[in-house]
Chain A
């Protein structure tokens, strides 16, 4: 058809449409006389027009809306998925949407997890998922939400799991400050669940507060045991824009470094859960994922008791052992962790009426006898002893003043007075903080360090100079001054750093100890 012919078709089509359909045939006969092909063309277009009805009247995006609906292409309430009837959505996890559903075959409720579409098409991936699901389904423990089945319905994959009504640990942590016995109770239940799974060779890999549910009766269950790898296989932790869902805040260092992950990874996460339950915050969590990762790799959290004010060094030690950066130096098994936690729980029960701070001394076990605690006692003793010694030296200093040349004597005395006042005030303040506001201690210690060092040095130097001045007239007093001077210097620059390190550093390998975010925030 030439351009002119088509122009003619257009004209005739438009003109014909202005006429009644009964008159169109006659109109075409008249106008297309001698050109049957033109007539046929226009007539067929008119015919198509009459039959077209609503053809393409609705916009394309309406017609094709479902092409874009991947994200919501999931069953909705009342819809049947294989033998399951969906009730409603109960959550969205890394794997996709989770529904509460009824299993019509067994008349029980299940949590039905729709594994992100597209993951089921790959045969090898499917096989691996089946294998993982089988391993997870083999776990049978009251502390683990059972995996019932991996359902392959068409091209979609669904995981049917035990439905656990109750509140997640996340909700518990956010709504209330859990009491220590509660924390230990939850920890014991979690550790037993881990031990049972680890005994069968299944590692959770993604233990976090969202994956732990406590029922109204206080039974704690771990969700998604052994199926975390499916999520990673599905690549579903990334949103379309490539953002990570959630935070890496519960990953162990070896997970971040993509090294071998084994049961010790779960122990790290458990230690972190206990820390967060007791203190109310995750010590590694920072504003950005990168900062969080850096903290997990580099920062040793403050001992739990210093942050939470619970004063239970046994728990400190258990948590610190779980949170070791090096997986090898954590607990050698979840069983050991269970034993320690149960021991602690028994002691808590025994001493329920005692003040929490008295508990650790009551115990005879290796864990409850806290090395850290006695080191801190020595540190506090050091502060008090030094203060007393300094004050007692005011008398000899007063006497020595008179034996020195007049102006020198006065200067000497006031120098000693200033040093003693500064040093003792700061030291007693530190001891007070250690007792009353343990969470602030780290910050106060770093602030005080300069003051004590300078005043100690001034004190030693003043005594030494005075001793030289009175050496001939009063050799005995001069000897005393020199002795105290040397003792003070040694105490300040050698003994005190040692006791401080013993009391406050968990691992000698790590030199910096940052207080967790919450503690820092209160400083500002």
Chain B
């Protein structure tokens, strides 16, 4: 078991005990991995070379969990925490970028040509984050599915495993949450 995976395992134990510091400790690890991932992602210079999303996020998790003897439950728990930390990091990053670029304004994340697909939809990450927080106030289950699936990048099946619910349930919740968020963001005046 590598040093970092021991660290991750013990951190998760702490997290299970509700230790908020564990999240803070995990963040730099996840951050580094995200950064490495993003760099690899950006390196692909031509369009049409989209990576398989789950393959990427699995690299992140595998590196963090490598050789670990985490139990299934721990692993599931880990996905939850990792997804939350990824959310926090991404939002934080989008916020500081927005501040730097527009003197306090917010940044609209753009699918740059050459990055993902030919059409370039935009997504206001901060607005999404705010909407997700609102959603959590009256339906935490839906919000959790979005967090794990969108920010954590897990598939339906993996999300089911991580949240200990059936894939069918995940699918139903995901569909509703997506519709709700899309409506919220669609209604949000573009800032």
Q: Which residues of A come within 8 Å of B, CB atoms?
A: 1, 3, 6, 10, 13-14, 17, 44-49, 51-52, 54-56, 58-69, 71-73, 76, 121
Fill in one digit per residue for B94-118: 1 if any A CB lies within 8 Å of its CB, else 0.
1001001000000001011001100
Chain B residues contacting A3 (CB-CB under 8 Å) are 138
Given A6-B139, A60-B86, A60-B150, answer yes or no on A65-B125 (Cβ-Cβ < 8 Å). no
Contacts of B87 in A (CB 8 A): 60
Among A46, A52, A69, A71, point to the contact of B178 (Cβ < 8 A).
Answer: A52
Knowing A13-B179, A67-B93, say if A56 contacts B41 (CB, 8 Å). Answer: no
The complex places the Cα of A312 from the Cα of B149 at a distance, in Å, of 72
Q: List 6 A-B contacts (CB under 8 A).
A: A45-B179, A54-B121, A56-B123, A59-B150, A68-B93, A73-B42
Assign chain B's interface to a size class: 35 or more
Q: How far is B153's CA from A223's CA once the two chains are assembled, in angstroms?
A: 47
Residue B151 CB within 8 A of the other chain: yes
List B residues at the A interface (Cβ < 8 Å).
Answer: 34-35, 37-39, 41-43, 45, 51, 53, 56-57, 86-87, 90, 93-94, 97, 100, 109, 111-112, 115-116, 121, 123, 125, 128, 138-139, 146, 149-153, 172, 175-176, 178-183, 186
> Hey, which chain B residues are within 8 Å of A72, CB to CB?
39, 42-43
Q: Bound complex: CA of A47 vs CA of B182, how far in Å?
A: 10
Q: How far is the CA of A340 from the CA of B42 in the complex (A)?
A: 54
Check A56/B181 contact, CB under 8 A, given A68-B39, A72-B39: yes
A64–B128 Cα distance when bound, in Å, is: 13
Q: How far is the CB of A92 from chain B (nearest CB, A)?
A: 14
Q: Which residues of A contact B153 (CB under 8 A)?
A: 59-62
Contact B53 A58 (CB under 8 A): yes
Q: How far is the CA of A102 from the CA of B111 in the complex (A)?
A: 29
Name the residue of chain A whose CB is nearest to the CB of B146: A56
Could you tell me if B138 and A1 are in contact, using CB atoms closer than 8 angstroms?
Answer: yes
Residue numbers in B under 8 Å from A61 (CB-CB): 34, 37-38, 41, 56-57, 86, 90, 153
- Is A56 a contact of B45 with CB atoms below 8 Å? no
- Return B141 CB to nearest CB of chain A, in Å: 10
Q: Cα distance A61–B186 when bound, in Å?
A: 22
- The answer to whether A63 and B138 have CB atoms under 8 Å apart is no
Q: In the complex the two chains form, is A66's CB within 8 Å of B39's CB?
A: no
In the complex, A55→B138 CA distance in Å? Answer: 22
* Chain A residues whose CB sits within 8 angstroms of the CB of B152 once the complex forms: 59
Contact A66 B112 (CB under 8 A): yes
The answer to whether B38 touches A68, judged by C-beta atoms less than 8 angstroms apart, is yes
Q: Pick the 6 closest A-B CB pairs, nearest first.
A: A59-B153, A68-B38, A48-B183, A49-B179, A52-B182, A65-B41
10 extra interface residue pairs, beta carbon distance < 8 Å, beyond A13-B176, A48-B186, A67-B97? A1-B138, A45-B176, A45-B179, A45-B183, A49-B175, A51-B186, A58-B116, A60-B151, A64-B90, A66-B42
Inter-subunit contact A64/B115 (CB<8 Å):
no
In the bound assembly, the distance between CA atoms of A219 and B8 in angstroms comes to 56
